[in-house]
């Protein structure tokens, strides 16, 4: 199984630190509450027959998440809403992030939209996208002598 990863070049470290600090900076909403921007962590793996996307979506249900596939683009979106807590006297700290998110993944031509399956279990969303036939590896048998080779799928 091949895992797709992106690793920044060494010279990009300062830029990444600046970029990350922007997204980690709390924002103040109109009601005065403080919220952090939320971008759920997602992994993409490739198996022999599928692309598998896993996303950590703690606290969300299947009704909070939307999955669409159009023009070879898989879109996962949703929102984790702020829990309205009454705070009395004393100290209060908010570190969990809230808000809407959208992530897009461009897939190869020929994906069957009706074959895409999504499940959520313990706050982890798993989306399985079967590879198009043209992308799946094929084993080619080697013929001995005058036999004709067979192709398996």
Provide the CATH number for the domain around residue 99: 2.60.40.790
Q: How many domains does the chain have?
A: 1
- Would the pTM count as exceeding 0.75? no
Which candidate, 54, 57, 50, places its Cα nearest to that of 127? 54
Strand arrangement of the beta sheet that strand 42-46 belongs to: 2-3, 42-46, 50-56, 124-130, 117-121
pLDDT (tens place) for every residue of the chain, 153 residues total = 444 444 445 544 554 554 454 444 555 555 555 555 778 999 999 998 999 999 999 989 889 999 999 999 999 999 988 766 555 555 567 677 888 999 999 988 889 999 999 999 999 999 999 998 876 677 888 888 866 656 655
Token pair for 75:
């879109």
Q: Which domain holds residue 95?
A: 2-152
Q: Report the chain's terminal Cα–Cα distance, integer Å.
A: 18
């Amino acid at each position: 199984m091949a895992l797709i990863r992106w690793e920044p070049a060494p010279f990009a470290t300062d830029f990444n630190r600046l970029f990350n600090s922007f997204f980690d900076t709390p924002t103040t909403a109109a009601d005065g509450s403080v919220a952090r921007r939320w971008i759920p962590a997602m992994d993409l793996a490739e198996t022999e027959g599928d692309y598998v996307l896993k996303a950590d979506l703690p606290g969300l249900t299947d009704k909070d998440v939307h999955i669409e596939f159009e023009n070879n683009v898989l879109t996962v979106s949703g929102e984790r809403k702020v829990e309205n807590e009454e705070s009395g006297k004393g100290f209060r700290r908010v570190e969990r992030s809230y808000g809407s998110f959208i992530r897009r993944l461009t897939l190869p031509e020929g994906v069957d939209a009706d074959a895409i399956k999504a499940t959520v279990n313990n706050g982890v969303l798993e989306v399985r996208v079967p590879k198009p036939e043209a992308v799946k590896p094929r084993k080619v048998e080697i013929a001995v002598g005058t036999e004709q080779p067979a192709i398996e799928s």
